[in-house]
Amino acid sequence: MNRKLLRGVAAAALLLLSRPEMVVAQTQDFATWTSVEMVYDWKRTGLELDGILEWRTKDRVRRTDCAVVYLAVARNVLPRLSLGVNYELSVNNLDAQGWMVYHCYRLRATFSTRLCRGLELSLREKYEHTFGKNGFREMLLRQRLRLACTLPRNGISPYVSVETFNDLAAGRGFSLTRVRYRGGSSFPLSQGWTGDVFYLFQDSPAKGTHVLGLAGTYHF
């Protein structure tokens, strides 16, 4: 069974990585993403409450790209299936257009399974609707495949993932707008804190962005 699952993972990864419409000339940028996250496990209700503050840079870390406030709630409806919803408020630097506030809500479903001891595979589906002033709207379907391995001796968990963003706007069909490739590792800290360091490459038709990320999460 594990062999079949691994073959399926390999086939899905090849499908995600081999989208020819993304192979075009690009400009390149370097950015950083930093965030602090608070997670509360509300055991009486089975809900997980989540809040994040995030800051992103762009233009080779010289300028702010956006600042984000993120609120979410999720619940395990089955042993391997989690459903959730979240709201995000972001203030974005649009260069010549100035600053713009975006509102975004997402619906998500995450299926996860253990392939073997310490090795976990997850597939996450997200519907995302973003809107701002001047009639701006964006509707996306995001699909992420993630493979993680937890080392039992120290709790360090290296991972890799690939995520596609597909445009659902009327008149555009189901078109791929960007892909994110991510590799990193989470690790335990003291008193309920965990850290996460990662490298991410965001591939879009006009721009390729190299991101170094650092995140801290507190569970209580």
Per-domain residue ranges for the chain? 2-219
What is the rounded CA–CA span in Å between residue 3 and residue 80?
19
Given this model, what pLDDT does residue 20 score? 45
Q: Which CATH number fits domain 2-219: 2.40.160.40, 3.30.70.360, 3.40.50.2300, 2.60.40.2550?
A: 2.40.160.40
Q: For residue 5, what pLDDT band results from cuts at 50, 70 and 90?
A: very low
Whole-number CA gyration radius for the chain = 18
Three-state SS at 214: strand
**Structure-block tokens of residue 55:** 């800051």
Please report where in the chains the tokens 């089955």 appear, as a residue.
78
Tell me the pLDDT band of 1, cut-offs 50, 70 and 90. very low
Select from 218, 197, 195 the least CA-distant residue to 39.
Answer: 218
172 has a pLDDT exceeding 70: no
| DSSP 8-state class, residue 24 | S
SS3 6: helix
pTM score above 0.75: yes
